[in-house]
Amino acid sequence: MSDTPKHTPATTRRRGLSVIATAVAVASLAWGGWHWMHARHFETTDNAYVAGNVVQITPQIGGTVVAIAADDTDFVKAGQPLVRLDTADMQVALEQASAQLAQTVREVRTLFANNAALKAQVSLREADLARLQSDLARAQDDVNRRAPLVSTGAVGKEEFQHTQSQLAAARSAQAAAQAAVQAAREQLAASQTQTEGTTVEAHPNVLRAAAKVHEAYLALQRATLLAPLDGHVAKRGVQIGQRIAAGAPLMTLVALDQLWVDANFKESQLQQLRIGQKAELHADVYGTKVIYHGTVVGLGAGTGAAFALLPAQNATGNWIKVVQRVPVRIALDAQELASHPLRVGLSMEATVDIRDQEGKSLSDIPRTTPVAATTVFDDQMRDADAYVSKIISANLGRRQIAAAPTGTQLH
């Protein structure tokens, strides 16, 4: 008989279970080692999406659309015209305001000129008063010399009375001259209140008329809607010939070179997330072969549910606990973003390295620079100032006024 043990079903089962137990143990040890050495230092979520500045293009004035210079998917540069409105009414309003400013400058010049004329009038009245005072002194001297001679008969009474009449007339003339001087001075003072402490250019009447020109000039320039930044046009809703009101959304501009990722981590993952930690991200559109490197720049101040249009009402009997998520903003590397462009709303997978615990979980430093800024509208006020200055100078006799701008001259 053979001494080889027979393989009974029980023996085979025990061997199979032993192999499975060994495999599970090895796998558990491997997973535990991998988690201890690597996985516990990272937090990962696939609930992440690309976000960016979505700029609404809205008019500052109402009007009729006569030209559309950009369409969906077009790339536009900052300052490039996007939509142009009819400018006929705005041109007329600017011409009226310009004419009123020119007339006001001339009227104010007249006020200053009247001051000089009134000063001359005061000087003339004062000269008349001085002459009459001299005549009065002579008449008084004549009376004083003739008065002692009347009793001796050297001067007749009729002659003395005539001298006294002349003295009375001189006094009346002097009183009238004094009144005329006072009236001229009051008239000059009243005129000077209109011009005192100012110049023609800084006179309130001129400034008020200049403000109307500024308003009309800016309205004319704003008839051409400019792109505030570089970006791509999306969701154009404006049509040619459409009558639009101020503030109506016409199109959307997206700056695809200034994107970031909002990664929504579970509340149980937030404990070790810090500002400044490094992250690696993958976009579904490119797959795992393309790696984006980013930096955590901020953690949200609340969960998404807290800021939802209809917040959850958990204070009810029918309540089910749902794990909440908090958005974590991750800035992307600009060069990598340029090499592999993304779109707003694309899905991402984010993995944050949490080994660096030096940063803070919430920002406590106020921002010192604007989140976004544009300078394309700065020239409008400068051009308006220059246009007003030309009108004022032309009506001061300094130089000729430039032609009024038109809608086609606006860049």
Evaluate if residue 273 carries a pLDDT over 70.
yes
Q: What are phi and psi of 195, to 5 degrees?
A: -130, -5
Q: How far apart are CA 209 and CA 101, in angstroms?
A: 5
Tokens 């940063």, residue located: 359
CB 45 within 8 A of CB 349: yes
Residue 278, pLDDT score = 94
Residue range 202-221: average pLDDT?
92
Q: At a CB cut-off of 8 Å and minimum separation 6, what does 134 contact?
A: none
Residue 54, pLDDT score = 93
Evaluate if residue 365 carries a pLDDT over 50.
yes
Residue range 295-316: average pLDDT?
81
Largest CA distance in the chain: 199
Evaluate if residue 379 carries a pLDDT over 50.
yes
pLDDT digits (tens, 9 = 90+) for 227-264: 999 999 998 999 999 999 999 999 999 999 999 999 99
Q: How far apart are CA 346 and CA 124, in angstroms?
A: 88
The highest-confidence range among 4-13, 30-39, 47-56, 396-405, by mean pLDDT, is 47-56
Q: How far apart are CA 186 and CA 188, in angstroms?
A: 5
Evaluate if residue 399 carries a pLDDT over 50.
no
Residue range 398-408: average pLDDT?
46
CB 242 within 8 A of CB 65: yes
Q: How far apart are CA 408 and CA 165, in angstroms?
A: 81
Nearest Cα neighbor of 257 from 349, 352, 339, 346 is 339
The DSSP line for 29-96 is HHHHHHHHHTGGGEEEEEEEEEEEEEEEE--SS-EEEEEE---TT-EE-TT-EEEEE--HHHHHHHHH
Number of Cβ within 10 Å of residue 281's Cβ equals 23
- Give the chain's length: 411
User: pLDDT class for 157, splitting at 50, 70, 90?
Assistant: low
pLDDT digits (tens, 9 = 90+) for 178-196: 777 777 677 666 666 666 7
Residue 352, pLDDT score = 92
Q: How far apart are CA 1 and CA 4, in angstroms?
A: 9
Least confident of 124-138, 140-154, 348-362: 140-154
Residue range 132-142: average pLDDT?
67
**Type of residue at 399:** R
Evaluate if residue 358 carries a pLDDT over 60.
yes
Distance of CA 168 to the CA centre of its chain: 75
Residue 153, pLDDT score = 60
Which CATH architecture fits 45-86+224-311+322-353?
Beta Barrel (2.40)
Evaluate if residue 404 carries a pLDDT over 60.
no
Residue 35, pLDDT score = 60
Look over the chain and give the mean of its residue pLDDT values, rounded to a whole number: 82
Nearest Cα neighbor of 383 from 271, 135, 217, 168 is 217
User: pLDDT class for 226, splitting at 50, 70, 90?
Assistant: very high
User: pLDDT class for 4, splitting at 50, 70, 90?
Assistant: low
pLDDT digits (tens, 9 = 90+) for 17-35: 777 888 887 787 777 776 6
User: pLDDT class for 143, splitting at 50, 70, 90?
Assistant: low
Q: At a CB cut-off of 8 Å and minimum separation 6, what does 131 contact?
A: none
pTM: 0.71
